[in-house]
Chain A
């Protein structure tokens, strides 16, 4: 049950594809600068990971919704495991080998593919072996339970952050103490000391980024909306991989300016905006190109994603860096799905549908994602109350055998017809 010889082949795939897209964009006058910046960011992130054995960088593999700020402040190289797995699936167009390796470990098919796949990816050596494994219970059992097996596979030490369920002050204090313990753990294993002033600077940068996300959200309210349909996934990746990095701030500033210009000029992301959509949860990565094409074809564009792009209220205080990192964990859009699904959450989703003039919502029902699928009925009812129909699309974020492009096309076309009739 240990990792194979790391080849980093998965990382090379992401780097090659990112550089190729960057070069292609340079050759297209209509391509936006932010797009090129995004893929340059990706290529740099994965190049650093790939070269870590030579540079001596200390790699901390971590699960989703994890405070990368702490690693950046300690000059530790973070490796976002789920994002890396789905990017490999996205750029290589196939996930069979890593999923099969995960299954051979004894992981049941019900375990979501990003986690089954990442365990498999370590086994076959697609991902580099980390020096430590970090994980938390945000936002589901899969993340909470994945770390120990990954420690075993990689024969490395690990640290688990126990994120509280509610958002009381006592629970916030608990989370801060958990983070303090993790910093001590990282200091012990990496030999690097936390620079608290540096963490304050990183937090200040993250705060700027959160403000930029909010400004971008405001711009997306415009009719026609300026941001392309699957663009929200780039916003997600930027926070996942580059939180607190100045180059990510530069990307977001560029994007905000591009969107502001488009709004001022009345330019929409699609030529003829007909359907404004709310996206709930993760679309199949291997259908990204198709989803963009059908968006253009039908003038259907995602304008809001309550659990991906809509941040909780509040600002971060660089003078209290660790507390700020903890508070950010509660402001993360996805984390709104972790606590109780009470009136606060439900009314927020309904309000977003109204504020963004949403015509319909697409609920990506990822077969491996239990906690999001179990809320389909609740959200459908909430959205139907504000006259927003919901299409449920059964899919898998990584595994192309669950649903095909043809099936998705048929369902989307049926849904667009329904919206048209309304």
Chain B
């Protein structure tokens, strides 16, 4: 039994496997094996890119991410300038330095300024053979769904032309099933976080999530099933001073959450494109729509990014998560120059504080593990939450 999450060995062998995988990505054995066996690997730049279509084409889709820690982004800055978000610069620098040379294609979306310019410079300076960028509407109207479906169809057609083979409905249904299974398993994992004393910390959960969008789903699902078995048999229980939720910009360094949890909090819920927003909504195949339309609807209707309008849709779902996971306070982490989230912050803070949920707003850089200043601010936040409970 542990009071606060520990950094090192967890006693959970599968979690160690996820860690090992993450530490070697992008050159992880499980990815390179796929490539060496003659498979093609595509990188995607944003969660609005429908992975199932790439998978149904027999291609391995992996998410392009940046360095696992905060590093000097001299090349990234030289190409994307200092006022692009550090996520875009980090991804691009990794690509420019050849770490993604094994990719056969890159797929992006018109989701935010950072994502679209990252796609532009990638196409211009990194020689990946296939490029495609989807127009992603910012609304949820029926018209927007029809437009996005048209975009998804064009993407499928472009992919088929590049590969010289058709993507069948049968293959797409198979991919949908596989990805939905992955989502269902992650939901099981998140159910454990609702417990008073969850067996898995927020940092450990993020380690699993990071692997989820980097490795073949077939393998990920096997590993996650094993982890769920191990967790059900373990007697690990994480106690905490406060139950927190993380919201905001893209983030994949578990050390950042570990820093917060090191102060005695437990992150039990999250609203990031590397966490709940990545996996939470399944593709619904109800017989009345084609698999392609079902995929298209899922991606536009998914737990929204701050780019979408109206923002209430996102705010409502955050409020729902706060209730479901019995969250005491929200930590907003926003990467500098991540404008969609920065614009939403005053409105979200106004709304949450009105509901009695305090918000700690942290400005960070992508890859940060958390500075002394962040620790101090988290400590003060936790003290305030404790005082509020008394």
Contact = CB atoms under 8 A, between A and B. Distances in A.
Interface in B22-80: 78-80
Given A170-B150, A371-B117, A148 B310 contact: yes
Contacts, number: 135
Interface string B326-354: 00000000101111101111110110000
Q: Name, among A152, A164, A369, A376, the residue most crowded by chain B CB atoms within 10 Å (CB to CB).
A: A164
Interface string B134-168: 01111100011001001000000000000000000
Contacts of A371: 113, 116-117
Nearest to B311: A148
Q: Which of B136, B345, B346 has the most CB of A within 10 A?
A: B346
B133 A340 contact: yes
Contact of B340 (A105, A145, A166): A145
Contact of B347 (A108, A110, A152, A373): A152
Interface residues of B, number: 51
B147 A108 contact: no
Given A340-B120, A370-B337, A377-B80, A149 B346 contact: yes
B15 to A, nearest CB: 35
Contacts of B280: none
B84 interface: yes
A378 B363 contact: no
A108 B116 contact: no
A173 to B, nearest CB: 9
B363 A108 contact: yes
B349 A145 contact: no
Contact of B135 (A105, A108, A164): A164
B9 interface: no
B342 A110 contact: yes
B138 A170 contact: no
A162 interface: yes
Interface string A90-111: 0000000000000001111011
Contact of A111 (B116, B117, B119, B339): B339
B343 A374 contact: no
A160 B310 CA distance: 9
B133 to A, nearest CB: 6
Contacts of A141: 112-113, 307, 339-340, 343
Contacts of A137: 138
A367 interface: yes
Given A166-B135, A370-B84, A171 B147 contact: yes
Nearest to B138: A162
A164 B137 contact: yes
A147 B17 CA distance: 46
B384 to A, nearest CB: 18
Interface in B290-320: 306-307, 309-311
Interface in B94-130: 110, 112-114, 116-117, 119-121, 123-124
A106 B349 contact: yes
Interface string A360-383: 000001011111011111100000
Contacts of B114: 370, 374
Contact of A145 (B82, B344, B361): B344
A377 B79 contact: yes
A267 interface: no
Nearest to B312: A148
B137 A162 contact: yes
B135 A140 contact: no
A415 interface: no
A224 B83 CA distance: 37
A374 B336 contact: no
A374 B349 CA distance: 30
B251 to A, nearest CB: 17
A253 B344 CA distance: 44
A378 B126 CA distance: 13
Contacts of B309: 144, 148, 160, 162
Contact of A374 (B84, B123, B133, B136): B84
Nearest to B350: A1
A281 to B, nearest CB: 12
30 contacts: A106-B349, A107-B343, A107-B346, A108-B342, A110-B83, A110-B337, A110-B342, A111-B342, A137-B138, A141-B112, A144-B309, A145-B307, A148-B310, A148-B311, A164-B147, A165-B116, A165-B136, A174-B143, A174-B144, A174-B147, A340-B119, A342-B123, A370-B81, A370-B85, A370-B113, A371-B113, A373-B83, A374-B80, A377-B80, A378-B120
Interface of B: 78-85, 88, 110, 112-114, 116-117, 119-121, 123-124, 133, 135-139, 143-144, 147, 150, 306-307, 309-311, 334, 336-340, 342-347, 349-350, 361, 363
Interface of A: 1, 105-108, 110-111, 137, 140-142, 144-146, 148-149, 152, 160, 162, 164-166, 170-171, 174, 177-178, 340-342, 365, 367-371, 373-378
Given A141-B343, A149-B346, 17 more contacts: A110-B83, A110-B342, A141-B340, A142-B339, A145-B307, A149-B347, A164-B135, A164-B137, A174-B143, A370-B81, A370-B84, A371-B116, A373-B81, A374-B121, A376-B81, A377-B79, A377-B80
Closest 9 pairs (CB-CB, A-B):
A145-B343, A165-B110, A374-B117, A106-B346, A165-B135, A373-B81, A141-B339, A371-B113, A108-B342
